[in-house]
Amino acid sequence: MTTLELELNLPDRLAREAQAAGLLTPKALARMLKDAIRRRAGQAFAVLSRVGRLTGGVMQLMEITPAMRRFVSSLLLASLVAGGAQAQAQELKREVFAPAAEKGAIVIVVSGVSGTALYRDYGTRLAGLGYYTVLIDGNDVLIRARDSKDRDGAANLRKIIADAQAAPQAAAGKVALVGFSLGGGGVLLHGAPLKDSVSAVIAYYPAITKLGPDMAPLASGMQVPVLVFAGGQDRYFNCCLAESARALEAAAKARQAAFELVVYADAGHGFNLSVPAYRAGDANDAWTRTTALLHRLHPARAP
């Protein structure tokens, strides 16, 4: 492991938005570097392939100049690093927050794109209420197209659920899902249809805008009660617009699904996280609504 000290000079607005989204953490920066290495390696190998086709495939490695040989070697190293990063990403890492005493009903918390760091507080607070809480990375559940090779977000979520249900400190029964941003989109898409293993889904500013204006396909899969929170001023990469949440509400209500939407008019993305966008009033109200739904539909312990 190599430790680097970086000094970044960013425009004020970009710096605020990046910090609010958790993109300046070591883990987030490492992920972006690995993604950049994969992209550059792929582009360079594509160039070499075109060169090979143009030369009729007769150019051999030993005929390449020393500078080109070093370049090819660097590409091979980059591909190995990228491949290793992808293999590590496929490991389903999780963080467990167990209740202090007795067995607790299971709540699975699914993070945003920045990873789990900003969401550990929720794991601790839910465990304090008596829940057996499992925190996972949203990148393992709602998988972006460029990262989707050999990865199945729906299968990953089902495995996390099954593993949690087998844990000795977990009470038998269904799980509740709480997702944020990318993870919010993931629990709506892959968790809400699982009526046999999921009791309720709670999604904070879910990343659903990229699905397009028609939310009927997403709503059609909702087989459990759903609670969604959105920020009226959320413009973070236009991933999680309140307008999309309202469209989903309309589609869900048209199907008579159990769906509740709460929009905080002045809130932005991450309004309930330890970031500059934090708004205490909205965060506290959302937490109260979250715990009320859990107590009603998914109590920590059987009565």
Report DSSP state, residue 169.
T
Q: Using CA atoms, how far apart are residues 100 and 34, in angstroms rounded to an integer?
A: 38
Provide the pLDDT for residue 62.
38
Provide the pLDDT for residue 59.
37
> Coil, helix or strand for 115?
coil
Task: Please identify every stretch of the chain with a pLDDT value under 50, giving residue numbers as ranges.
Answer: 41-66, 68-89
Provide the pLDDT for residue 22.
72
Predicted TM-score of the model (pTM) = 0.72
Q: Cβ(277)–Cβ(269) under 8 Å? A: yes
Contacts of 75-84 with C-beta under 8 Å, sequence gap 24+, read 75/41, 75/44, 75/45, 75/48, 78/37, 78/38, 78/40, 78/41, 79/41, 79/45, 81/34, 81/37, 82/34, 82/37, 82/38, 82/41
Provide the pLDDT for residue 302.
75
Q: Using CA atoms, how far apart are residues 231 and 223, in angstroms rounded to an integer?
A: 25
Q: Could you tell me the domains of the chain?
A: 13-89 (no CATH), 92-297 (3.40.50.1820)
Summarize pLDDT for 140-180 with one digit per residue, the tens.
999 866 555 557 999 999 999 999 999 999 999 999 999 99
Provide the pLDDT for residue 146.
57
Summarize pLDDT for 90-118 with one digit per residue, the tens.
578 999 999 988 899 999 999 999 999 99
CA 150 to chain centre: 17
> Coil, helix or strand for 205?
coil
| Other CB atoms within 10 A of residue 302 CB | 9
Strand partners, 228: 203, 261
